[in-house]
Chain A
Amino acid sequence: MTLSSAARAAALALALAATAAAAATLSPGRQAVVAALGAGDAAAGKAFFFARHTGGKADTPACTACHTTDLTKAGQTKAGKAIDPMAASRAPDRFSDLATVEKWFRRNCTDVLGRECTKSEKANVIAYLLSI
């Protein structure tokens, strides 16, 4: 085991521990969502959320197209309606119903990436959004 891989393993262990610690304070609904998607990597989720993707629609190349880059504030749909902030700390009702979470991943991943998100991509994004 090289030093860097040891560091990476330590970082992953730390991340998993942090996720577990966070999960302990989650509402039952959020715990169920995390349990279904599996533990994710918040840092990877953040990178994924802010990245410019290809394969989706021209006017929605990133999650931030509608959710904006300040996730503690409301976003806006293309039809002009406000979207509640994505940060879990600002939207207590979010991420507590698996069907709703899956619905929006299905729709928005298709629009932004041109495909559905993988289970780990979803887990990462949820981990990130629950951490802020």
Chain B
Amino acid sequence: MADATHIDITLTDDATRAPRVRVWDRFVRLFHWSLAASVAIALATGFVGGPRLLVAHLVAGVLAAALVVARLAWGFLGPRHARFADFVVGPGATIAHLRAALAGRPSHHLGHNPLGGAMVVALMLAVAALSLTGAVALGGALKEGPLAATITFATGRAAREAHEWIAFALIGLISLHLAGVVLESLRTSENLAAAMITGDKRARGATAPAIAARPTLAVLVVVAICAVATQLTLAGMRRPALGVPTAPLDASYARECGACHAAPSPAIASSKTWRRVMAGLDDHYGDNASLDADTARALSQYLDANAAERWDTQVSRRVGAASVGEDLRVTRTRAWTRLHEDIAPATFAAKPVGGAINCAACHRDAATGRFSVFAIDIPHERTAP
């Protein structure tokens, strides 16, 4: 008994002499820092926003999701301290740990303590929720990705809103996580961040028996899940997107309207707006653009059948649904302005563009009215040498 007491005192008072043991295996460390990097990139690109950063955001997000899937498998098939069974405890035990810690009598844990374990679960849940809401937002609001064929714009927008709130929550969790690491490192005089790099921690108290990892099975499980997810994604992307126009402009419409200006897709304005445009062709922004009765009737029918309310895209639901002013220009609506707020006025005035009416100068798919976020090329005016 005396010996045991002596050893105990040695371990706590002069812990630096304690033997170092491997706690975090190579995968757990690789996972941790890869997830940290991909989440950092996803957060940065997400909050800055814009179509140009979207691809980086999606790659980072998909990588984070894949890492979480792999970590889930490792949580059941990895070595002892990687397993959920090692650190996921009930709320009762977590509160008991918190009470003891606040009272200055914290319990020792070689792996994650109950609070750390809860943080692991919370962070992974947040990343999973972000992946899910991100995919729903991408499919519904932008009509891209695996869910483009199934999610409505309204659902997509709601998911985008949730996506943003969860991102804020994730930032809160990361802050708590970093604070916990700093506090616990100070309290135990052990650099926990370094331990996540080297994988080693000082042995404290009795070491629990090791549990062998099953890496081959884990790899097989993860590869199988990723293969199924990839196939489902590709199958979803092959289906036609929900409520997205795909037909090129009607030939007569393109000829008549395109004679004077770039003919915009009917999908950018409501049928009400188009009716007002057609009714006022005698004085069309200062010009007489009148048509013979037959042509006018045919074009009115075409516009009505393809106006914004027939579609479920961001452009139709936001710009097309926006109420236009007296002059009927969608480019004067708040929705249009907000979508184009990052574009300098000089870009619209530049020669290859020639005004905001020329959607096709930047949107490769303007003629169909799809306006995919991935079909934007902003021409840069060449400056004279």
Contacts and interface: CB of A to CB of B under 8 A. Distances in A.
Interface of A: 57, 59, 77-81, 99, 103, 106-108, 110-111
B288 A108 contact: yes
A80 B287 CA distance: 13
B203 interface: no
A54 to B, nearest CB: 17
Given A79-B261, A79-B355, 19 more contacts: A77-B259, A77-B261, A78-B260, A79-B285, A79-B357, A80-B355, A81-B258, A81-B260, A81-B261, A81-B262, A81-B354, A99-B292, A103-B290, A103-B291, A103-B292, A107-B287, A107-B288, A107-B289, A111-B288
Contacts of A111: 287-288
B290 A106 contact: yes
A80 B291 contact: no
A59 B287 CA distance: 10
B286 A80 contact: no
B358 interface: yes
A59 B355 CA distance: 19
Contacts of A107: 287-290
8 contacts: A79-B354, A79-B357, A80-B354, A80-B358, A81-B258, A81-B259, A110-B288, A110-B290
A57 B289 CA distance: 14
A59 to B, nearest CB: 7
B286 A77 contact: no
A43 to B, nearest CB: 27
Interface in B283-300: 285-292
Nearest to B357: A79
Interface of B: 258-262, 282, 285-292, 354-355, 357-358
Nearest to A116: B288
Contacts of A59: 286
Nearest to B281: A107
A108 B292 CA distance: 15
Nearest to B354: A80
Nearest to A112: B288
A107 B358 CA distance: 23
A99 B292 CA distance: 9
A81 B287 CA distance: 14
Contacts, number: 42
Contacts of B358: 80
Nearest to B351: A80
Contacts of A80: 261, 354-355, 358
Nearest to A78: B287
Contacts of B357: 79
A78 to B, nearest CB: 7
Nearest to A57: B286
A107 B238 CA distance: 47
Contacts of B258: 81
A79 B354 CA distance: 8
Nearest to A59: B286
Which residue of B258, B285, B288, B291 has the most chain A CB atoms within 10 A of its CB atom?
Answer: B288
A80 B260 CA distance: 8
B280 to A, nearest CB: 14
Contacts of B262: 79, 81
Contacts of B291: 103
A58 to B, nearest CB: 9
A4 to B, nearest CB: 40
Contacts of A106: 288, 290
Nearest to B294: A99
B256 to A, nearest CB: 9
B329 to A, nearest CB: 12
A80 B354 CA distance: 6
A78 B286 CA distance: 10
A106 B259 CA distance: 15
Nearest to B358: A80
Nearest to A76: B354
B278 to A, nearest CB: 15
Q: Which 3 A-B pairs have the closest CB atoms?
A: A79-B261, A80-B354, A107-B288
Contacts of B288: 106-108, 110-111
A79 B258 CA distance: 10
Contacts of B355: 79-80
Nearest to A80: B354
Contacts of B259: 77, 81
Contacts of B285: 78-79
A107 B284 CA distance: 11
A100 to B, nearest CB: 10
A77 B257 CA distance: 12
B290 A77 contact: no
A69 to B, nearest CB: 20
A4 B355 CA distance: 55
Nearest to A102: B292
